[in-house]
Each structure stands twice: as structure tokens, then as C-alpha cells.
A and B are shown apart, each in its own frame.
Chain A
Amino acid sequence: MTLNDVKEWLYGCSHCGTCKDVLGIFVPSCPAGERFQLESYYPSGQVFIARAVYEGTLSLADDDLRDRIYACTGCLSCQQQCGVYHRDHIFEIVEALRAEAVTQGFLNPAYMVLIDSLKREDNVFGKPKSERGDWAEGLGLKDASKEETDVLYHAGCMLSFEPELWEVPRSVISIMKAAGVDVGIMGKEENCCGGRLYEIGYLGEFTKYAEHSIETFNSIGVSKVITSCSDGYATFKNLYQQVDIKKKFEALHVVEYIDQLIKEGKLKLTKEVPMKVTYHDPCHLGRHMGEAGVYDPPRDILNSIPGVELVEMPRSRENSWCCGAGGGVSQSDPEFAMWTANERLKEAKATGATALVTSCSWCERNFKDAIEEYGIDIEVYDIAEIVRKAI
């Protein structure tokens, strides 16, 4: 994708500023703009940069300018607030700028480890591929690459390589087993979905990952691919449509699948879990899915757990504030990513909840890092961990 591919949308923005705040409640909606305050960090600023680069007025050779285009977390809140015809294409414009930078050879050093790691180990953390399935040790799970299985659980890079979060995939497996699901994993053969590559402008590399993943899932014959990674989910559902290979499987997020299992009566949540919680909607599970945003299933799940009291934050559902980890920001500017997360944690704390529950491993990691950095007193859980407590 080049700026020429999005030129139809480059002149839509009038710099009216509507994207800066959540409509109706008028609190900040854009993490980058709110953190850095300079106009170039806001969505309208990004569109203006794209317009000027397209016209030759600004150059991507400018390091400081590129810092601005990599500060966007890709949360799409601007697209939710904007009312103008280019509204669905704002992040596409940012992605086109990033792709243009890569094409012109202006690579972001912060992404070099990630790119190199993907090339060598098929994950974004530089960890050995052979360790990818270590989280499942002792669970006796089927190897879906060798054995026939109905459902494939895709843990994603974060949950595979972050031992502090292994309770999440292990909870998912417990839940599935409790519901009698025939589930398997790919273990060390699991790959990154490639979504992060797309968001930081490496479109060619993304396509390779997309083709490989679709062909792999098709070849092993699973009916469903279930993931805990919201980024991965949006990649499977949205970005993989750009690859001309028919998918023979259905991609679902864990929250959708658990919700189905509960509503079909296959999963009984009977144990009391006395907690007051608030739910953080991951951007990739919400706004990235457009009208198919997954907002109700996690709430239905939480409301079906005995003892759980769910309270909402002012910015929720379509208007959720980003955790700060998206769009490559957790790699390029971890300090800003944690600042964004802390803004969310403060909002969560103000509801009176003792825990923030989410359904994205990147969000969870970033929130936990922010708690360590800023010291706010609130617990963070993946929704699967709460569900497991109720079984």
C-alpha cells in the first residue's frame, strides 16, 4: 500500500479536531495526541503529514517526522469520533505512510529486533521457536500438526513467550476441556500472525505470514481457530482477506467461543467469584472489527459468573481508550505505551473496581508493566482467568 493507494482519502480532513475527544463526553480519545500535545501527533496531523508527503512538501527522511507517524497506536478511536467520509481510512493512511517509509529505506531501528526475530524465529520477541509451546507443558494437549483435532488454539506470540502470562492460555485449555472441546495446539510449529508487520509498514513480509498461516490451518483440517490474542484475531479476520486464499476454517476469539459454550449449555459457571471488575475493550477486538466489534460476549460472560459485579468505565465499547501497546508502539516507545496504559488504569480505578479484566494479551502485558512503573493499586486479569475461577 502506498500513499497513492489512499490518495482518495488524503484531502478528507479539515483539521476540525472532532477526533481529539470522545463525542458526547468530551474526554481525550487519541493517546498520541494527548500525550505529546503537538498537532502532528493527532489523527488530523497524521493525515496532514500524509498529504504533505504525497505532495512533496514534507519528507520521510526527517527522523522527527517519522517519530510522529510511529506514535500512532492504531487504536482507531479517531475513526469512531470522526464524521467525515474518510473516517474509515485514517489508520490506513498512517499505515501507508509507514509502508512508504519502509519502501524508501527509512527503517525504524526500534523494529529491527522484531523484524530480525520474525525472520529467524517466527515470533516478535527474539525467543527460540522451539520454546513456543512451553506454556502447555504437562497439559497433554494434542499436536494439531500431527493429530486430527476439531479446534486449534492459537496462543499468539505474547502468551507463548511470556511466562508471567501462561496462566491465561492454561486457563483457556481448562475451560475448553471442561466444555468437552476437542482441542489441539501447534506448539513450536505455531507462527506469529504477522499483523504487527502490517501495522508498521512491512507489507511484503506480512503477506508471507498470512499465506503461510492460512495454508497451514487449511491443511491440518481444523474447523475453528481460537485465539486469545486480539491483534491476531483482527489479523485473521480482517487483514487475511487481502490474501487470495480461501479460508477453510472459522477464526474466533476466545471470548466469542466461551460465550458460545456458555449459551449452548456446554460450559457451566457455578462457583462464586466475588469481584467488582471493569472491562477494557481491546481495540483489535472492538473498533478494528467495525460493525462486528466484539463488545457483548465478554460482558455476557462476566455477567454470567456468580458474584462478579461489572462496572463500566466512561470510555467503553466503541469509545474505549487504548491500552497503548498497539501499532508497534510497545516496541518503538515503551514509555509512551505505559503512560497510555496508566491513563486507562486510573480510569478503571475511578469506577471502584478492584480489577481490570481484558481479553488481549498485549493489553494485559502493558497494563501490568504500567502498574509496575506507576504503582496504581488495581489487579489485571484476562477474562479466561476469571472464567476458570468459576468452574
Chain B
Amino acid sequence: MLETGIKSRIVEELEKIVGSEYVSTNKADLYIYSQDMTPAEQVWPDVTVLPDSLEQLRAIVALANKEKVPLNPYVAGGNIGGVAIPLKGGILVDLKRMDRILEVNDTDMYALVEPGVTFGILKAYLDKHHPDLMYTYAFSPPSTGVVTNALLQGLDNISFRYGAASNWVSGLEVLLATGELVRIGSCAVSNVWQALVPMPELAGLFLGWQGTTGIITKMAVSLWPNPKHSAGLHFQTKDLDGAYKLLKVISRTRIPDDLIGTSFALNKVSMLAMAHKKASLYPAVTPGPGEPEFTISADISGNTENELKAKLKVIEEVVNGLKDDSIVVPEPTPSSKAAFPMQALAVLSGGGGLMWVGCYGPMSTWLETAIKGCELQDKYDLSRSCYTRVMNEGHFVGLRWMIPYDKGDPEMVKRISDCCDEQLDMVLENGYIPYKTPVWAVRKIEERASPELLELHRKVKKMLDPNNILNPGRWGVPQE
């Protein structure tokens, strides 16, 4: 909490920069920014400001750096990790007004966007102006920020092919806490933002850092040809062992665009949500007699119908090669691509809350980790809600147990928090590392990381943000 005198001065300066209409100290605004869908502790910013341009943003950052006041970038706040909660208060910079799509390069297949551009805005723009190109979308609402999703290394619906969202960043413009504006990638030396290579890959100073080392003011992200033909295959398995076999064997074909798995119990609960009813995981719903434990879904595309058919045929052959009578190759259904970005109804219908231990880890320990995570849900009488996505053609896996919950029910909040605590310890034991990492998980990761790595984090943070103003309290926290 800022001292009254400093706060008044800062508010006055902010109003000069963006106009009083776009500065708020009203408690209603600050209350909304003090929290997110998770049970993370509420922390209120002192003031929120909504810049419309790079010039305004630069002036805000200069002010914060001069006054040594925390400055927290924000777009939609839907990260399920408390990442946008201003841990030390200060200025919350809501970037939603900086929402311009600056360029779509059809030949080089990238979009250059400002930080406020959402999945929805980009989808609408591409549909209208570049229908042959597509972006990839997360299992999240349309209001999700394109830049923040990439910055936080999210997993999207072509992550099977290309890995985490930070992998398709092809250029960055970053505003440092000290005021410098830096371009990284080909854009640093030309007007084309086609790739980060071949230069020292300084993007790593910013990607995955949760806005603690700089504010992204422009980002180029890859686009892909929109496939003309696509289909979905939904396998059902009686146990997680069967799911594991399928994930491995389908991964090795390198065929799908997307390969995910979900607990069948989560699907059952989701049916309520789809009917606009409250979806509670408690008490646990278990699969009935003959019902599967898990669903594996592969999204497949082709330039021609023949290519699509050939790909489906290959999947059929490798799955039949498992010689497991319990796994039946399903009939293809329409691809789920068209539904993205989606309302993500099911996981947002628990009563305002959504929590998970979401992590990336090796395929080699997937089965053990998935089973233990589900067993912990059993322990807390929660429906199994495992969700997994194979990344980068099987080189690693995204895994989480999605827990919608009622924020107005303290007993439920405690139940899910305790469950997630145990799941976090378990996944770390199994080599899985939380992504979009909540601060409580950052601290646990730091306990396991080498002191040398933590020192490097601190040095990077100190170099780029000497006054520790950018989203402080997360990665690279100065040593006490």
C-alpha cells in the first residue's frame, strides 16, 4: 500500500499521461484486480491505469521507475495462476486498450500484435481478412490475451506440433523498466518479424518471466495455413494405462495437430455445465459400469480429403497394432477446431472459481503422475478431472487436474486448496513443473532448483529491473 502523499502524486501524474478517465482508484476497480479465479490471496493495487499507446506506457513506466513503485501488467487475468495479482500493490497497468493488430504478413505467416489483442480479436480479423490463415487457441475464453498466452508459455490447440506458445513467438518489442525499448529477433535489423534466429536468443530474458523483466509492447506470432479438411477421433479407455499406451503410440505417428486426454468423470460433470447448470466436482462422480476412465482425442487435418483419410488410416493401423481389445478405433467426428476460441463452459461453471496444478513434464513419468494426481482427487472426494495435452510431438506433456469450485463456499475452497497442495508436491517429485506458475509454486520450485540458478534469476532481474518495480515478488526475487 502506497503512502497517501506518494499515491496522490502518482495518480496526478498518471492522469496527466492518459487522462483522468483512464485512471481509477475506485475500490470497485481495485477489488476486481485484486484476485483471479484461483484461491490466491487477494492483494489490492493502489491505482489502475489504462494506456492507449506506447508513448503513454513509456511515460507510466518512467514514472514508476522514478518513484520506485511496483508496476503490474495486466490483460485479462485469466491465467489460473494468480500471475496478474499485484503482490506488492502499486500501479496496475491494464493493457486492454493497446489492442491493435499492426500487421498480418500473409507470405511469412505471422501476425504482429499489441499486448491487448485477444484470441477473439485475432480470430475475427483473420476470418475476415486472411481466411486461409489461422492462429492457435488455448482451451480458454476469447478474451485471453495472445501476448500473455505466449509470454506465459501456454498450451494451445496445435501444441502437439509446435510445443508451448512461447515457441511460436517470432519477434518481440520490449519496454524495459529503465525505459529502453528493445526489439528482439529479425525485427531488430529489418522490418520483417519472421524469426528470432539467427541471433542470440534474448527472448528468453522475457518469455516465461511473467512480466517481471519487461513489458512486451509488440509481439509477432506465427500463423499457419488453415487446413481445408479436418476430423476428430475420440478414443475411450477403461483405465489410465490404456490412455498412456494410446498417447505414446499416436504421438509417434507425428500426425495429429492436437492430442489431448480428459477424465471421463470430468466429461460427465461438464454435461451439466453445457446445459448452463452449476458444475461441481464434489462429491465425486465416478464412471458407471462399462463407462470409460479416460477419453483421448486427436485432431487431424489434411490439405485434401485423401490426405486426411490416409492420416486417419495410419492412426487406425497403429492403434490396432496395440492388440488391445478394450481400445476401439472410433468413427471420425467433425474437428473441434471451429469451436475455438471457446467459452470453456465446463471449467468456468463451478461458482466463479477455477484452480489447477497445471504442469509440464516428461512422457516417461506421465502414467505414474496422472494416476497419483487422480488418486489425490479421490482422497478429497473430488471427481477426477485430469486433462492432458501432448506437446511438441511427444517430447513433453501438459498435465493438470482442472477443479472448478464455488468461491462462496469456504469449505470447498479449503478442500481444493489442500488437494492442490498435495498434487503440487507429487508432480514435482515426478519431474513435472508447474506452468503459469503461481507464486506459491514458484517458491517450491526454487526450493528444488540449484542456488546457482536462483542467483542467475536474481542477476537477470536486477540487470533488467534494478528497482524491482515489474510485477515484483515472483521470479528472481532479491535475496532477503
Chain A residues within 8 Å of B, Cβ to Cβ:
10-18, 20-21, 23, 25-27, 36-40, 44-45, 48-49, 51-52, 57-58, 62, 64-65, 68, 83-85, 87-88
Contact = CB atoms under 8 A, between A and B. Distances in A.
A16 B32 CA distance: 12
Interface stretch (B58-66, B119-127, B245-253, B327-335): B119-127
B28 A68 contact: yes
Interface in B98-145: 118, 120-121, 123-124, 141-144
Interface of B: 21-22, 24, 26-29, 31-33, 36-37, 48, 50, 76-78, 94, 96-97, 118, 120-121, 123-124, 141-144, 273, 276-279, 343-345, 348-349, 351-354, 406-409
Contacts of B345: 83-84
B28 A83 contact: no
Given A11-B408, A21-B120, A26-B123, A16 B27 contact: no
B339 to A, nearest CB: 10
Nearest to A10: B408
Contact of A14 (B144, B277, B352): B352
A21 B143 CA distance: 8
13 contacts: A15-B32, A23-B343, A36-B21, A37-B22, A40-B24, A40-B29, A44-B32, A48-B28, A62-B26, A83-B348, A84-B276, A84-B348, A85-B278
Contact of B37 (A14, A65, A87): A14
A285 to B, nearest CB: 23
A65 B26 contact: yes
Contacts of A27: 124
A84 B349 contact: yes
B350 to A, nearest CB: 8
* Residue of B78, B94, B142, B144 with most chain A CB atoms under a 10 A cut-off: B142
A23 B142 contact: yes
Given A16-B141, A84-B349, A40 B26 contact: yes
Given A15-B36, A16-B344, A38-B48, A48 B354 contact: no
Given A23-B142, A40-B26, 10 more contacts: A11-B409, A15-B77, A16-B141, A16-B348, A37-B96, A38-B24, A39-B29, A45-B28, A62-B27, A83-B343
A51 B352 CA distance: 11
Contacts of A11: 351-353, 406-409
Q: Return the 9 tightest CB-CB contacts between A and B, nearest first.
A: A17-B143, A26-B120, A11-B408, A83-B343, A26-B124, A40-B28, A16-B141, A83-B345, A11-B351
A44 B76 CA distance: 12
The listed residue with most B CB atoms (<10 A of its CB), out of A13, A40, A45, is A40
A58 B28 contact: yes
Contacts of A14: 37, 348, 352-354
Contacts of B31: 48-49, 52, 57-58
